[in-house]
Structure formats: structure tokens, C-alpha cells
Chain A
Amino acid sequence: MADDNSKTNLPPLSLHVPEPKYRPGDPVDYSDVDIPKAGDQPRPDVNSDPAKMREMVYDMVRVLDDDYKAVGPWDPKLSDDTLLKMLKTMAQVRAFDDRLHRMQRQGKTSFYMKCTGEEATSVAAAMALHSDDMCFPSYRQQGILFVRGYPMVDMINQIFSNREDKLKGRQLPIMYCSRDLGFFSISGNLATQYPQAVGWAMASAAKGDTRIAATWCGEGSTAEGDFHSAMTFATVYNAPIVMNVVNNQWAISSFSGFAGGERTTFAARAAGYGIAGLRVDGNDPLAVYAATQWAAERARTNNGPTLIEHFTYRADAHSTSDDPGAYRSAQEREEWPLGDPITRLKRHLIHRGVWSKEQHEALDKECIDAVKVATKAAEKNGILGHGLHQPFETMFQDVFEEMPWHLKEQSEQANKEREIKWPDAEASK
């Protein structure tokens, strides 16, 4: 046996528990983060063998250079109109987030999650898809709904769980769902949408459809078994799907090292499965668009799945339930080497001569006003905790298509309780 020799001189084993580089108060130095030059990355053909493009998973697709010019083979060469739409949508998402976050602080709902700094990873990605491609988002992709024209007032009705909430007040705020817009019901359990998205894509392929699926998760939840099951099924059946990992560096208080980020990139997960992988500057809307467009075309032409890592930064808290000041350095956001996606696109458009600082200021104001109007309209339908917004029997509906006897009995019990707890409330029937 290998241990026939004495063990007396062996050093003790040690356990590595990852630790982020910076904690609250620490000065931040990102000089060791390798940010390749924009425009330097090759753009393989969409039918490339994943084995022939493996270096892409360690590189970073970047289009906007330091002077805000679009450069290199990944420049999607979008029209001014498309870029302006992208900018306006991202600005609207940010204004919405700021306002709704404040509404939660004012006690109008229980919970909110912003996507500040990550707007490009949903807005630019959704714009690069067809409008009827099916999205299986995680909880920070509200940008998809903005791209597809979901009314803000309906989003806020959901956030307030009020009587116009299309989900009947059943879901935690921001767990939207819109079948009409190809936006799958958001789960609170992480990465469960990944194998579901693959299943949807497999069904689309089996039916000879032309629509593809796209899904998103955070770098933290790539640790879930669901992620790896999805990757296996995607590669086995060559599923027409774009799988996005939004690497925003933080999963609540756990830095990406707790998902394996100290050892390799998240895009590199693709290589082990023989899936095409791209690593993208997630704060460069043009790069996000270009990578998604590449992956979507690959999927749509039966060349199979792509995993895209969007390298970005969660500029704000995980949700209204945590204070990032308690676990990370505030300087991280200020020093983030890839900047801010809205600022970068704004400067690109100014550089192109189709936008100005003044126009942008006016846009920000328009966006804020639009959210205010939508919020006021939604508030008329009620806010969480102030009154009973849904008829009682809705609590028991949709557990099954038809209500079985035991739920009917429990529904009667709930109605009896209503008469005692809320004597003035309207009877449910």
C-alpha cells in the first residue's frame, strides 16, 4: 500500500474556505482583473465546433472601447434607432428600480430587487432574441419585460399584490409571469428554470418549431444540481437554447468564490460539456447583444446550445432584505473596471453624434415621470397589507384545475374565519 512508509513526517491537511479580497472599509484595487482590449476577440462562425473555440471561455467579448467607440468583429452594427431604444429601455428599468425600491422602503410592499448595473444583461439580450423566443428568467431580468412591452402598471400591481395583480397576489413581489410575452413564471428556488428551459427548447425542436429558449441564472446558482442537469441535457439533445450566467460577483453576501469562481471562469463550465461558451463584458450592451445574437443564430440553425457568462457587477444590494455595506467594500462599485452599462451606451451614442447630455437628462426625467404615473395608477388598485385585494376563494383556486373536496372544505373554513377576522370585508361570493 501507498502508506506502508511512516506517516510521521506528513504535514497536516488544511481546508480552504474562500474569502473575498475586500471587506467593508477595505481599499479596492482591481488592477489584477484581466480586462482584454475591446475589439481584440475573434468572432467564430456560428456553426463552430465548441472544441475549436475553447479560448473564448477565458477571453472576454468586448465591443465598446475606452473612447466609447464600437470596435472589432463583434460590433453588431446596430442602427441608431435600435441603440436609442436600448438606451431608453435601460434608463427606464433603472428609474423603475429606484422608484419601486423606495416604495418598499415606504411600506407599500414586502420586497423588491433591483438590477442596477446589470441592465444590459437582460435588455440587450432580450433585444437580440426574437420577440416570441421563450425566456426562462431568474429574478433580476425585469429588463426582458420592458423590452417586450409589458406595462409598468401591471408590474407594479404584482409588486403591490393588489386586486389587479394578474398573479392574484400569490407570488412574492417581482416574481412576474407573462405567457403572452414568452416570460416564464419566476421561481424563488434557484436555477430550477434551467432544465425547464432546456425542456422547452427540446419540445420546440421535437415539434419542428422555429422558436428557441433562453434562460438566465446568477453565478452563485451555477452550483445547483439543476444547472448541471440542464447542461447535460442541453448537450445530449443539442437543444436550441441560450443559457446566460449573470456573473455579478455576489450571491447575497457570498462572493463568486463560493461557486468556484476562484478556480476558473463560469463560461468554462461550457467546455466540460462540449457546449459553445462565450465570456462577455456584461456592462457593454453591444457585446451582450452581439453574443446573444451569435448564440441565438447558432441555436436557430440547429447548431446547439451556448453558455454565455456575462461578467458584470451587482451595483446595489441583493434585495431590500440585505445591506451590502455589512459584507463588502463600498469601493468595489466605484472602482469596477467595466463601468456602468447605461453610461457607456450613452457616451457611445453621444460619440456617434445622435445623442447629447441634455437629451439624456430629459430622458431620465421622462423615465421617472413615467414610473410615477404607473405607480399612481397601480396604487389605486391597492397596496400590500392594506385591505383584502383578492376574493377569498382565489387562495384555493389553481392548486388543481378542479377543486377537490378537501380544498372546498378548507375554503369554507377560511370564509368562516373571514367573517370573524374582517367582518366588514366583502363576502367572496
Chain B
Amino acid sequence: MTTMNMIEAINSGLDNMMARDDDVVVMGEDVGYFGGVFRATAGLQEKHGKTRCFDTPISECGIIGVAVGMAAYGMRPVPEIQFADYIYPGLDQLVSEAARLRYRSAAEFTSAITVRSPFGGGIFGGQTHSQSPESMFTHVCGLKTVIPSTPYDAKGLLISAIEDNDPVMFFEPKRIYNGPFTGYYDKPVEPWSKFEASQVPEDYYKIPIGKANIVRAGEAVTILTYGTMVHVAKAVVEEHGVDAEVIDLRTLVPLDIDTIEESVKKTGRCLIIHEATRTSGFGAELSALVQERCFYHLEAPIERVTGFDTPYPHSLEWAYFPGPVRIGEALDKIVGELTS
């Protein structure tokens, strides 16, 4: 085991896979010699060579389109989109091409690509470096969407994503690259090294796609969340002294519905938290699924805590962020509801 932050864990996962499989190539803006703006690809070009890890033109359409073509050849490209906010020029190549190639060619061609992209706010990135666009991709049939919340998970999930024979959107919560986040923006960040999840094997290991993780067992309410918000939710739960069961979904598609269903049937209450905007966010899907499957076990209406339906503001970032106040209010409300 080595102590790693999330960036180091991702770097280690890429390094392992490039060493194991010649078909794995890393590409993206600034990922080569420089090693990426967040350093996720640092040292990979030097170690594995320029044709295995290389810079690309500033063209997300080209990056994804070229990756689809490389995958059609038989490679396993791992393109990086520098910020999730930049992904839209590549949307057609993801939605109409990568996601449907297996289907439309009756599996003659597949798109085994893993699109890595830092997402989410909390770093004063303004409206073009803070978005959480995951639900745009969960809506697309043929794409998998994976979001880790710790260094250990990030590496294990990334390796599974690269080995997956379908296209995977791998969104990295950049707010917690260096350490988990409790939602108190004015408190110093504690580095990952202080937490057990920073203990990461240097060698290859996998965490399966489609399996959620119960990060806190509890009886009073089920909290469904992912990414940065896993840590914020845990902190608020402790602060409010609520015996909540906190589930880190880890994969949005395919969703671990069994774990969700079992938990909600046990607790009878469900709070959904994500940083992304509210309307048509992934929380809407989760809420509908819980209602369809657990309605007769519910003792209170399902609550959603989300970002507001505005662009991510720069100066008002911490007014926007679904932090301890918004979550705490919903938590108190949902555990306070009495069975009639």
C-alpha cells in the first residue's frame, strides 16, 4: 500500500493499465509532456512513449471521434477532456457514435473508450470549470457513467472502466482530488493522507462497475449520493447525529438498484444529494426508481438536495453549493416526518 491522493491514484491506474496492455493509449489536451493540468498523466509519456500518451489539438469533437476510430482499430483509448464543461463539442461523437456503435453494427465494432474528465465545483472555477453534466450522459443508452469518491475507489474503478468493452464516462470530482471535503469551504482541507482510503495498492486491482458502496450503515434514513457529496453528506450526518445509511453509488449507469432498494426498504426514508442542477438531474431518476420500488415502505416523501438551476456562479459559489445548511435542513425534515 502507498499513500495516494486521488490524482496519484488515477495516475497509478493509468500507469498499471498502460504497462499491462499495449492497446491502452492516453490522449488529451496537455496530457503528454506536461502531464495534464491536474497532473493526472504526469510521467506517463516519459515512461510509456509518445505514441502511448500524447497531446491533442483543442478539439473535443476530434478527441472523442479519433478515440472512437482507435477503438474500432482495436485499441483502448483513454481520452481526457480537460474539464467536463468542455465536453459538449464532443457530444455527438459520444451520443450518436460511441454509445451506439455496438448496437448499430450488431457488435461488429465496439467503442471500448474511457473518457476521463474532472467535474464539479468548489474550486472557484466559474461557470465553465464547475459543471456536473453527468445526467446528460446517464440519459444516453449505451454509455456507462462512473464517479469515484476516494483515491482507492478511483483507481479500482478506473481500471475496470478501461477494461470494460463499452464506452465509460469517468467523471472525477476535482474538489476532492487532494482531500475529502466536508462542505465547509472556510475550513482547511485535510489531505487524503489522513484517511484510510488513501492507502492504495501500487499494483493492479479492480472495483466492479455497477456496485454501490455503503459508506456508513444506519437505520434512520437512506442517503443516495456520489462524488464530492459523499463526504459532505457524511459530515452533515455526524453533525446532526442522525443514524443515516449513506450509499456512495459509484456507478450511475448501470445502477446498483439492489443495494438502494434493500436500504430504503429498511430505513423507510430516502434523501438524494447531488451537486448538479436539479431539473432532470440524476436525482429525479433516483427518486422515481425509489418511488416505483419502495413506495409502500416509505414513511416520508423522498427529498432531493441539489445545486440550483442556475449556471455555476463565480463569486456566489458557496451560496450555490448544496452544503451543510441545505443538506441539514432536508435531513432534519425527512427524519422528523412522522408516520401518519
Taking a contact as CB atoms under 8 Å apart, the answer to whether A398 and B97 are in contact is no
Taking a contact as CB atoms under 8 Å apart, the answer to whether A166 and B106 are in contact is yes
Which of A179, A196, A398 touches B69 (beta carbons < 8 Å)?
A196
Q: Of the listed stretches B88-96, B262-270, B332-340, name the one at the interface; the rest are far from the partner chain.
A: B88-96
Chain B CB within 10 A, most for which of A167, A175, A233: A233
Taking a contact as CB atoms under 8 Å apart, the answer to whether A203 and B74 are in contact is yes
- Asked if A194 lies at the interface with its beta carbon under 8 angstroms from chain B, I say yes
Which of A178, A200, A233, A398 touches B57 (beta carbons < 8 Å)?
A233
Q: How far is the CB of B46 from chain A (nearest CB, A)?
A: 17
Taking a contact as CB atoms under 8 Å apart, the answer to whether A196 and B72 are in contact is yes
List the A side residues contacting B153 at CB < 8 Å.
none
Taking a contact as CB atoms under 8 Å apart, the answer to whether A233 and B56 are in contact is yes
Q: How far is the CA of A171 from the CA of B103 in the complex (A)?
A: 9
Q: Of the listed stretches B60-68, B184-192, B304-312, B316-324, name the one at the interface; the rest are far from the partner chain.
A: B60-68
Q: How far is the CB of B23 from chain A (nearest CB, A)?
A: 9
Q: Of the listed stretches B11-19, B107-115, B175-183, name the one at the interface; the rest are far from the partner chain.
A: B107-115
Q: How far is the CA of A195 from the CA of B96 in the complex (A)?
A: 14
What 1/0 flags go to A77-120 for Cβ under 8 Å of B? 00000000000000000000000000000000000000000000
Taking a contact as CB atoms under 8 Å apart, the answer to whether B51 and A206 are in contact is yes
User: Which residues in window 170-222 of A have CB below 8 A to B?
Assistant: 170-171, 175, 177-179, 184-185, 187, 189, 192, 194-204, 206-207, 213
Taking a contact as CB atoms under 8 Å apart, the answer to whether A199 and B66 are in contact is yes
Report the nearest A residue to B71, measured CB to CB. A199
Report the nearest A residue to B102, measured CB to CB. A398
Q: How far is the CB of A178 from chain B (nearest CB, A)?
A: 7
List the B side residues contacting A192 at CB < 8 Å.
65, 92-93, 96-97
Taking a contact as CB atoms under 8 Å apart, the answer to whether B62 and A200 are in contact is no
List the B side residues contacting A187 at CB < 8 Å.
96-97, 104
- Say whether, besides A178-B108, A233-B57, A203 and B73 are in contact (CB < 8 Å): yes
Taking a contact as CB atoms under 8 Å apart, the answer to whether A200 and B72 are in contact is yes
Q: How far is the CB of A392 from chain B (nearest CB, A)?
A: 15
Chain A CB within 10 A, most for which of B66, B141, B254: B66
What 1/0 flags go to B120-148 for Cβ under 8 Å of A? 00000000000000000000011010000
Q: How far is the CA of A194 from the CA of B51 in the complex (A)?
A: 21
Report the nearest A residue to B257, measured CB to CB. A405
Report the nearest B residue to A188, measured CB to CB. B96
- Say whether, besides A195-B93, A197-B69, A399 and B102 are in contact (CB < 8 Å): yes
Taking a contact as CB atoms under 8 Å apart, the answer to whether A236 and B57 are in contact is yes
- Say whether, besides A203-B73, A399-B102, A400-B166, A195 and B65 are in contact (CB < 8 Å): yes
Q: How far is the CA of A203 from the CA of B51 in the complex (A)?
A: 9
- Asked if B197 lies at the interface with its beta carbon under 8 angstroms from chain A, I say no
- Asked if B59 lies at the interface with its beta carbon under 8 angstroms from chain A, I say yes
- Asked if A404 lies at the interface with its beta carbon under 8 angstroms from chain B, I say yes
Which of B52, B61, B103, B255 touches A195 (beta carbons < 8 Å)?
B61
- Say whether, besides A192-B97, A200-B73, A168 and B106 are in contact (CB < 8 Å): yes
- Asked if A225 lies at the interface with its beta carbon under 8 angstroms from chain B, I say yes
List the A side residues contacting B104 at CB < 8 Å.
167, 170-171, 175, 177, 185, 187
List the A side residues contacting B253 at CB < 8 Å.
404
Report the nearest A residue to B77, measured CB to CB. A199
Q: How far is the CA of A149 from the CA of B101 in the complex (A)?
A: 24
Taking a contact as CB atoms under 8 Å apart, the answer to whether B92 and A226 are in contact is yes
Taking a contact as CB atoms under 8 Å apart, the answer to whether A185 and B141 are in contact is no
What 1/0 flags go to B134-172 for Cβ under 8 Å of A? 000000011010000000000000000000111000000
- Say whether, besides A178-B108, A185-B109, A233-B62, A199 and B70 are in contact (CB < 8 Å): yes
- Asked if A401 lies at the interface with its beta carbon under 8 angstroms from chain B, I say yes
Q: How far is the CB of B144 from chain A (nearest CB, A)?
A: 7
- Asked if B105 lies at the interface with its beta carbon under 8 angstroms from chain A, I say yes
Taking a contact as CB atoms under 8 Å apart, the answer to whether A229 and B75 are in contact is no
Which of A134, A198, A398 touches B103 (beta carbons < 8 Å)?
A398
Which of A184, A202, A398 touches B66 (beta carbons < 8 Å)?
A202
Q: How far is the CA of A187 from the CA of B96 in the complex (A)?
A: 8
- Asked if B210 lies at the interface with its beta carbon under 8 angstroms from chain A, I say yes
Q: How far is the CA of A174 from the CA of B74 in the complex (A)?
A: 25
- Asked if B25 lies at the interface with its beta carbon under 8 angstroms from chain A, I say yes
Q: How far is the CA of A77 from the CA of B104 in the complex (A)?
A: 40
Which of B25, B61, B92 touches A206 (beta carbons < 8 Å)?
B25
List the B side residues contacting A229 at CB < 8 Å.
57, 59, 61-62, 65
Taking a contact as CB atoms under 8 Å apart, the answer to whether B70 and A170 are in contact is no
Report the nearest B residue to A201, measured CB to CB. B69
List the A side residues contacting B108 at CB < 8 Å.
177-179, 185
Q: How far is the CB of B53 from chain A (nearest CB, A)?
A: 11
Q: How far is the CB of A130 from chain B (nearest CB, A)?
A: 16
What 1/0 flags go to A283-317 for Cβ under 8 Å of B? 00000000000000000000000000000000000
Q: How far is the CB of B76 from chain A (nearest CB, A)?
A: 11
Q: How far is the CA of A401 from the CA of B104 in the complex (A)?
A: 13
Which of B92, B142, B254 touches A189 (beta carbons < 8 Å)?
B92
Chain A CB within 10 A, most for which of B69, B73, B97: B69
Taking a contact as CB atoms under 8 Å apart, the answer to whether B106 and A170 are in contact is yes
Q: How far is the CB of B244 from chain A (nearest CB, A)?
A: 25
Taking a contact as CB atoms under 8 Å apart, the answer to whether B103 and A196 are in contact is no
Taking a contact as CB atoms under 8 Å apart, the answer to whether A179 and B105 are in contact is yes
Taking a contact as CB atoms under 8 Å apart, the answer to whether A170 and B103 are in contact is yes
- Asked if A232 lies at the interface with its beta carbon under 8 angstroms from chain B, I say yes
List the B side residues contacting A213 at CB < 8 Å.
69
List the A side residues contacting B73 at CB < 8 Å.
134, 199-200, 203-204, 207
- Say whether, besides A167-B104, A200-B73, A177 and B109 are in contact (CB < 8 Å): yes
Q: How far is the CA of A36 from the CA of B257 in the complex (A)?
A: 68
List the A side residues contacting B77 at CB < 8 Å.
199
List the B side residues contacting A203 at CB < 8 Å.
69-70, 73-75
A-B contact pairs, 27 of them (CB 8 A): A134-B73, A168-B106, A170-B106, A175-B104, A177-B104, A177-B105, A178-B108, A184-B72, A185-B104, A192-B65, A192-B93, A195-B62, A195-B64, A198-B62, A199-B66, A199-B68, A199-B69, A199-B70, A204-B73, A229-B57, A229-B59, A230-B65, A233-B56, A233-B62, A233-B66, A401-B102, A401-B164
Listed in ascending order, the chain A residues whose CB lies under 8 Å from chain B are 134, 136, 166-168, 170-171, 175, 177-179, 184-185, 187, 189, 192, 194-204, 206-207, 213, 225-226, 229-230, 232-233, 236, 398-401, 404-406
A185-B101, A195-B68, A400-B254 are known; give 19 further A-B pairs, CB within 8 A.
A134-B73, A170-B104, A177-B109, A178-B108, A196-B66, A196-B72, A198-B66, A200-B69, A200-B70, A226-B93, A230-B62, A232-B62, A233-B59, A398-B102, A398-B103, A399-B141, A400-B166, A401-B110, A404-B253
The 7 closest A-B pairs by CB, nearest first: A199-B69, A195-B65, A229-B62, A199-B66, A404-B254, A196-B69, A203-B73
